[in-house]
Amino acid sequence: MPKIKTHKGTKKVLKVRKGGTISIGRPGSRHNTGKKSSAINRKNRKGSTLSKADQNRLQNIIK
């Protein structure tokens, strides 16, 4: 049985943290941020974590 290849596009977007959770950037933080409120821009900087269901689904692709 051949090895599963890493999906390079997904690997560049997602990052695995120390605890094993997967972090991802928030949508709407790339451009046109001048018209958005500063609270939303601040929230977007932090990023977010993937849900448990998505994390299980993408586990083999990222490794």
Total number of domains in the chain: 1
Q: Is the predicted pLDDT of residue 62 greater than 90, yes or no?
A: no
Domain contains 45 = yes
Residue 53's domain comprises: 1-26+36-58
Domain contains 13 = yes
Residue 59: which pLDDT band, with cuts at 50, 70 and 90? confident
**pLDDT (tens digit per residue) in 34-48:** 999 999 999 999 999
Domain contains 50 = yes
Domain contains 5 = yes
Domain contains 31 = no
Domain contains 9 = yes
The pLDDT, as a whole number, for residue 49 is 93
Contact (Cβ atoms closer than 8 angstroms) between residue 11 and residue 62: yes
Give buried/exposed letters for 10-33 (b at 16+ CB in 10 A, else e): eeeebeeeeeeebeeeeeebeeee
Domain contains 63 = no
DSSP state, 35?
S
